[in-house]
Amino acid sequence: MSDTIRVVSVLPDLLGTYGDSGNAIVASKRLALRGYQVELINAGLKDGIPSGGDFYFVGGGEDGPQSKAAELLRVDAVVERALESGAGLLAVCAGFQILGESFIGPNLKPQAGIGLFSCRTHRFDGPRSVGELIVEPVGSLAGLPLLTGYENHQGVTELLPGAVPLGGVLVGNGNNFEGRSDGAVLGRAIGTYMHGPVFARNPALCDHFLSLVLGELAPLGAIPLEEAHRALYDERISEVYKP
Amino acid sequence: MSRVALGLNANIAVGLTRVASWAVRSLGAGDGGVLPGRILLRLYPDAITELSRSLPCVIVSGTNAKTTTTALAKEALSGSFEVVSNTTGANMEGGVACALALQAGRSLERSIGVFEVDEAYLPVIAPQLETKVVALLNLSRDQLDRVSETRLTSAKWRAFLEEHPAVKVVANCDDPLVVFAANGSASVLWVSAGLNFVQDARSCPTCGGEIDFSKSRWFCSCGFSRPEPDVEVDGKIISVCGKTVEAELALPGSCNVSNAAMVLGICEVLGVDIDSAARRMSYVAEVAGRYKRVNIDGHSVRMLLSKNPAGWVEVFDMVGNDPSVVVAINAQIADGRDPSWLWDVPFEQLFGREVFASGERAFDLSVRLHYAGISHRVVKDPLEAIRSCRCGEVSFVGNYTSFQALRRQLKNKDQPVLTEIRRLADRILR
């Protein structure tokens, strides 16, 4: 790995409707504060998606752009190859859906996804899933604090046998109405329905994600940034989660 | 024509609405549009259709600048018509119904309706009115928990126009999502009103390909491209189908010259003289409490409202030289429950100023400001934040409910009891 950490925001001009670009901003700054040299790359439609990145971020978006992004991501399999060579991947909402085996295209028919996560997203005729989401991390993420985010999606995602969710849903819907789970985790790849952006709401998840690639990271300590995170986190959890 | 005859029940409903509107306004609990309008529609569901019979109407819609453009249009058209309008930002069915009820019974001779309508409600409200002209301003991300994504809104607008070929359209040709919608009509006057947030328009609404914005005229390889404008802006000069007029506006910012250009487009379609329209628009100095400077304990505070990333582009233009900025963010239903759009606002541009993070979601804003490298203080109450400013010249920027809350506070009539009554009434009506 080169000295500079390369953080790649994947197709932000197609996928980035819900402020998800903030995840790459948060990750980059938290690395810089720990002394890393960071290059934040906004890989737009025109630029192509660079290989050799250390972290890849795929955000949420509308149906048409989502379908287009899936086509582009399938062409050169950059993200799969990057994961194989040790990079980390965060995919949110529409980004999470296209990394599964299939999702619903703009013509309302199933469209093939990247097939990284063992899940399928179906069309749902009931109410849209909109609102605050509280998730209790499981599997390799168990031990992290509760996660807070905001979901806004029509599709429902079915995890296939063998798939591991990001966590169990305590408030909101997440993947679907029945399973009470949100997202999926596979090695250094994390998928979720949580906007917010999710790393701005949950710096502990961000640091965990970064450590999957870079090894254990020193805490940032009691700097004003961390106090601001703490205030936001405590407020969101206490307003939304009333066990 | 003229007077609309109403049944007894309708008359009672209209009377109650007027009383409720007066009560809300005089108690300082709001501008008196939303709640009375909802009561009216509950008692009298056909109110919009029946109260607007034989009233030709202009509808102004889009994500941003609806209220300001409607206020400018109201003024511009007032030389030629008696104007019925909802100029307080109450732009869903209740707001339109209330504005109609407040003038019910008057003669509608030489009258025109000018209504701002929420972008998602345009296909719902426009068919209930005698809609002659629809002005389409822009579409960008806003309140995504309530309003559908921008492409869907554009498609719904287009379907409405296809079904109503008699409606004339005044549309912003710089916004591809607006052009896609307006192409559903055969009668469009194109206004070059600018596009200050390109992010939601990058992929072509026709083919999904990439729109090229590198030239002054955007285009897509599929052939979808920017139409030639009929109305253009150059500094303060607006040219309307070959005639030019100077816009000497009291309202700040270049975006308001673009809004005035949209209004002159409406005037052109209606056959209203643009010189007198431009003169009348120059008298508008505030719109529902926005833009004006108010004195708060020795601070001269410019009151600005901005509720999404596209709106913020205009705010950075209007903050001007004010050394202190108080930003207040709420996330109530009218604001959108999800403030993640804060991450699409380049707050880095506030560098060098004294900044306060305020409002019910001040902590979300505070985290965002930290990552933008903007040092700031968190003071949740906007009034207290303004009083804490070191400098005399302050810009206050609120999103919808935080802006309204400060206005109510300033009227010094905000009483917790009233807020409770309002909340209760809201719950009953929901």
Q: Residues of A with CB below 8 A from B341's CB?
A: 18-19
**pLDDT tens for residues B368-422?**
999 999 999 999 999 999 999 998 999 999 999 999 999 988 886 445 666 666 6
Query: For the complex shown, is ipTM > 0.95?
Result: yes
Nearest CA in chain B to A199: B367
The pLDDT, as a whole number, for residue B1 is 38
| Domains detected in chain A | 4-240 (3.40.50.880)
The pLDDT, as a whole number, for residue B148 is 62
- Identify the band that residue B426 occupies on the pLDDT scale cut at 50, 70 and 90: low
Mean pLDDT check: name the lowest of A133-147, A168-182, B17-31.
B17-31
pLDDT reading at B176 higher than 50? yes
Please give the average per-residue pLDDT across A48-54, as a whole number: 92
User: Mutual orientation of helices B362-371 and A21-32 as an angle, nearest 10°?
Assistant: 60
Euclidean distance between the first and final Cα of chain B, in Å? 36
The pLDDT, as a whole number, for residue B430 is 55
| Domains detected in chain B | 8-281 (3.40.1190.10), 293-425 (3.90.190.20)
Shortest distance, CA B181 to any CA of chain A (angstroms): 16
Of A142, A196, A129, A131, whose CA–CA distance to A168 is shortest? A142
Of B228, B172, B230, whose CA–CA distance to B201 is shortest? B172
In chain B, residues 141-180 whose CB comes closer than 8 Å to chain A: 141, 144-145, 149-152
Of B53, B52, B40, B54, whose CA–CA distance to B9 is shortest? B40
Task: For chain B, say whether A122 makes contact (Cβ under 8 Å).
Answer: no
- Identify the band that residue B22 occupies on the pLDDT scale cut at 50, 70 and 90: confident
**pLDDT tens for residues A100-146?**
999 998 888 999 999 999 999 998 888 889 999 999 999 999 999 99
Burial label for B138, CB within 10 Å (0-12, 13-18, 19+), is: buried
Q: Which residue has the higher pLDDT, A216 or B16?
A: A216
pLDDT reading at B146 higher than 70? no
Q: Residues of A with CB below 8 A from B342's CB?
A: 19
What is the CA B158 to chain-centroid distance, rounded? 20
Q: Which residue has the higher pLDDT, B144 or A207?
A: A207
**pLDDT tens for residues B77-135?**
999 999 999 877 788 888 898 888 888 777 778 999 999 999 999 999 999 999 999 99
The pLDDT, as a whole number, for residue B414 is 46
Cβ contact, residue pair B141, A17, below 8 Å = yes
pLDDT reading at B13 higher than 80? no
Q: How far is CA A234 from CA A220, B50, B108, B379, in A?
A: 18, 51, 56, 17
Q: Residues of B with CB below 8 A from A204's CB?
A: none
Q: Residues of A with CB below 8 A from B149's CB?
A: 17, 62-63
Q: Which residue has the higher pLDDT, A222 or B427?
A: A222
Pick A17's closest partner by Cβ from B149, B342, B378.
B149
